[in-house]
Amino acid sequence: MRNKKTAKRRLFLIFALIGCFFAFFQPTCGAFTRVSGSGDGCPDWPTCFGSWIPPFNDIHAVIEWSHRTSGTLFGLVSIMLVIISFLIYKKFNPTVKIYSIALILIVIVGGIGGIVVLSDLNPAIRTVHLAGAQAVAALMVTAFVIETIRPQKNIPKNIKTMVYITAFLAISSLLSGAYAVWQGAGAVCYKWPLCSDYIVPKYTNQWIHMTHRLISLGLLLYIFRLSINLMKFGFSSILGKIAIILLMSGVLQTLIGASIPLSEFTVWSRSLHLGLATIVWMVSFSIIIIIRNQERSKN
């Protein structure tokens, strides 16, 4: 009996990790689809040129179809997570509820993705689509932290404030950057840190772009501040390890973001920039859940 429970638990943790991976991979794949000019590679939805298989001689159709297929696989993984977690707990406990909500949200986000295609890639709808994907990422992280990380002790209240601000700036930076690209403002400031040859932007699209840069700068400052405070718990502690991941991903994200104009806006640099932004969001949100677990353990 114990062996069966252990096997179920091991299988559950494997799928939980896969779920977290897809939560990161799906928006990153979506970014690659967007910046490679493949957002409308399949003009219809859910089929591609009227078929379930894309025309393999059309690279843009293949890229767009791959993004859709990844989303379908993510949905299947989420179904397995709901089933396995329910088999383990035999009731709708917080973990089962979180995965159930995530599954519903994945279906909704997929539907919004279809609307994006049918609405000729409307910037506002695309932003909602990305926001939904990041909400799914937050749910996947929440369930994983609840299941794998024990409540930590003696976390100062000032860290709680810092992590909430960091998470807010992380999602704001991510969505503002995506919106800037979708509004055609992603390449209007071709120098860094200045916008073109002057300090103060002149046009609306330049203001949109520079707003994203300012939010990202604030995010980097809070990442440094939060990471330093978390490292005080020791590099061997879970919070110390998370601090290192947060700091490394935050710094790398900023460096790649700054290099995008210098690299002439290559597809890989822009895709990696959003992928790292997703990691920063997921890591900062995981710290929020760890703090909330500590608060619950006191009650």
- Encode pLDDT of 125-162 as tens digits: 778 888 899 999 999 999 999 988 887 777 888 888 99
Q: Give the per-residue pLDDT at 181.
A: 73
Q: Give the per-residue pLDDT at 139.
A: 95
Q: Is residue 205 over pLDDT 80?
A: no
Q: Is residue 177 over pLDDT 60?
A: yes
Give me the residues paired with residue 48 across strands: 51
Distance CA 215, CA 253 (A): 13
How far from 58 is each of 31, 41, 55, 175, CA to CA, in Å? 19, 8, 6, 29
Of 30-44, 74-88, 243-257, the least confident: 30-44
171 pLDDT band (50/70/90 cuts)? very high
Q: Is residue 1 over pLDDT 60?
A: no
Q: Is residue 235 over pLDDT 60?
A: yes
Stretch 104-117: mean pLDDT, rounded?
82
Q: Give the per-residue pLDDT at 51.
A: 85
Average pLDDT in the chain: 84
For residue 241, give both structure tokens: 């390890």
Q: Give the per-residue pLDDT at 19.
A: 93
Q: Give the per-residue pLDDT at 260.
A: 72
The residue that leads in pLDDT, 20 or 126, is 20
Query: Kindly report the CA angle at 50 between 45 and 55, in degrees rounded to 5?
Result: 100
Q: Is residue 261 over pLDDT 80?
A: no
Q: Closest Cα partner for 75 from 34, 120, 106?
A: 106
Q: Is residue 220 over pLDDT 90?
A: yes
pTM: 0.85
Q: Is residue 86 over pLDDT 70?
A: yes
Q: Is residue 170 over pLDDT 90?
A: yes
Q: Give the per-residue pLDDT at 172.
A: 92
Q: Is residue 262 over pLDDT 70?
A: no
Q: Closest Cα partner for 147 from 95, 191, 215, 208?
A: 95
Proportion of the chain above pLDDT 90, given as a percent: 32
Distance CA 110, CA 182 (A): 19
Number of residues in the chain: 299
Q: Closest Cα partner for 193 from 172, 225, 167, 216?
A: 216
Of 30-34, 195-199, 235-239, the least confident: 195-199
Q: Give the per-residue pLDDT at 296.
A: 72
Of 15-19, 33-37, 83-87, the least confident: 33-37
Q: What is the 3-state secondary structure (H, E, C) of the chain?
A: CHHHHHHHHHHHHHHHHHHHHHHHHHHHHHHHHHHCCCCCCCCCCCCECCECCCCCCCHHHHHHHHHHHHHHHHHHHHHHHHHHHHHHHCCCCHHHHHHHHHHHHHHHHHHHHHHHHHCCCCHHHHHHHHHHHHHHHHHHHHHHHHHHCCCCCCCCHHHHHHHHHHHHHHHHHHHHHHHHHHCCCCCCCCCCCCECCECCCCCHHHHHHHHHHHHHHHHHHHHHHHHHHHHCCCCCCHHHHHHHHHHHHHHHHHHHHHHHHHCCCCHHHHHHHHHHHHHHHHHHHHHHHHHHHHHHHHC
222 pLDDT band (50/70/90 cuts)? very high
